[in-house]
Amino acid sequence: MPSLTDWKVAPAAQPKPGDYGYDLDRALAAVVGLRATIPADAFTADTLGTERAGNGVLIRADGVVLTIGYLITEAEAIWLHLADGRVVQGHGLGYDQATGFGLVQALAKLDLPALAFDQSSSAQVGERVVVGGAGGRARSVAAKIVARQEFAGYWEYVLDQAIFTAPAHPNWGGTALIGPAGDLLGIGSLQLEGAREGGRREPVNMIVPIDLLKPILDDMLKLGRPNCPPRPWLGLYAAEVEDKVVVMGLAKRGPAERAGLQTGDMVLAVAGAGVGNLAGLYRKVWSLGEAGVEVPLKIWRDGDTFDVRVNSGDRHKFLKGPRVH
C-alpha cells in the first residue's frame, strides 16, 4: 500500500463538501494514519509482513481507534499519525478473528472528533458514500455501494453480507466507510476485482460492516476478543477452482500441516458432507464445535481419495500478544 504522505487521490475522485448533508471535513478528521511493526519471528510475519501501514478511525473520545485487524496483529509497536503532524503511540487492545476488526488505544490525547456508528444493515446498493483515509479529502474517495453479498477469504474467513464500494480507495486498509448521515458504516479491508455493468471489471473495496462490531465491542475492550468459544481453525489457505476447494498453502506448524495435508490437495468433504466452495467448507468445519474438535476431511490427491482427521486449533494461540506499555 502507498505510504501515508506521498500520494493523493485524483481530484476528480475526491469527495466535495457540497455533495453531502453533513460536515464532511469533521467526519474525515476522525480518520488517522496507522503504522505497526511486527517481530520477524511472529506467526503472521511471512504472510503479512513486519511493517504494516493503513488507517484507523477514532470511535470514542477516550482514544479508542477502530481499524482492520491484520494491520495490528502481533504488533510490538503501533503509531497513530495525525493530520497536524503529531505522532501518538498506540496499544493494541484486541483483534477479532471472525469479523476482522482490530482495536487500538491511543496513549496520548488525540483531540479529534469521534465518529459515531451508523446502521450498516440499512445501507443500500447504489447509495453514495465516502471511503475516508487519513489526510482528509485529498486522501479520500467519493464512492458508491456497488454490492452487498457473501465474502469468503482464503484464510478461513466468511462474512455473510460484506459491503463492496467503487471506485476503490488505493490505501484501503482501515479506511472509514462514511454513510449519508456522516456516521461510520464499516471499515475497509481489501481491494478486489469486481464485475460492473456491461461486463467491465474494476477494482472495488471490500468493507466489513460496522453492525458486526456492536455486539462484541465491550468484550473487545475488556478481553481483547469476543467472550465466546473460538472457532476450530485448520491452518490452511484454500481457493475455489472449478467448483472445487483446493489447498494453496499451509500455515507453518498449523493443524493441517501436522495432519499431513499438502499444497494441491482437494478437499471433497467435511464429516461426510460434500463441499464445493470456501464458505461451505468453513461453515461445515465451524459447525462441528469449538477449537480443538477433530475435523474429518475427505481429500483427493494425485488420483487417490483418502480420509484425514485434523485436530483443529485456536488460531489466537499461535499469535504473539500485544506488548504492555
How many Å apart are CA 62 and CA 114, to the nearest integer? 9
In the CATH hierarchy, which fold is given to the domain comprising 120-211? Thrombin, subunit H (2.40.10)
Buried b (16+ CB within 10 A) or exposed e, 220-252: beeebbbeeebbbbbbbbbebeeeebebebbbe
* Fold agreement (120-211, 236-318): no
- Count CB-CB contacts under 10 A for residue 24: 22
In the CATH hierarchy, which fold is given to the domain comprising 18-114+216-223? Thrombin, subunit H (2.40.10)
Read off the pTM.
0.94
Q: Is the pLDDT of residue 265 over 70?
A: yes
DSSP line for 113-152: PPPPB--GGG--TT-EEEEE-TTGGGG-EEEEEEEEEEEE
Find all residues with CB under 8 Å of 270, minimum gap 6, and list them: 281, 284, 285, 288, 295, 296, 297, 298
Evaluate whether 227 touches 219 at the Cβ level (below 8 Å): yes
pLDDT in tens, 161-177: 999 999 999 999 999 99
pLDDT band at 3 (very low <50, low <70, confident <90, very high): very low
Domain ranges across the chain: 18-114+216-223, 120-211, 236-318
pLDDT in tens, 60-76: 999 999 999 999 999 99
236-318 CATH: 2.30.42.10
Evaluate whether 177 touches 185 at the Cβ level (below 8 Å): yes
pLDDT in tens, 108-164: 999 999 999 999 999 999 999 999 999 999 999 999 999 999 999 999 999 999 999
pLDDT band at 278 (very low <50, low <70, confident <90, very high): very high
Evaluate whether 189 touches 179 at the Cβ level (below 8 Å): no
Q: Is the pLDDT of residue 7 over 90?
A: no
3-state helix, strand, coil in the chain (%, to 5): 15, 40, 45
Find all residues with CB under 8 Å of 215, minimum gap 6, and list them: none
How high is the pLDDT of residue 238? 97
Q: Is the pLDDT of residue 1 over 50?
A: no
How many Å apart are CA 189 and CA 194, to the nearest integer? 15
How high is the pLDDT of residue 197? 58
Average pLDDT value over all residues in the chain: 95
Q: Using CB atoms within 10 A of its CB, is residue 147 exposed (0-12), middle (13-18) or buried (19+)?
A: middle
> 92 - beta bridge partners?
104
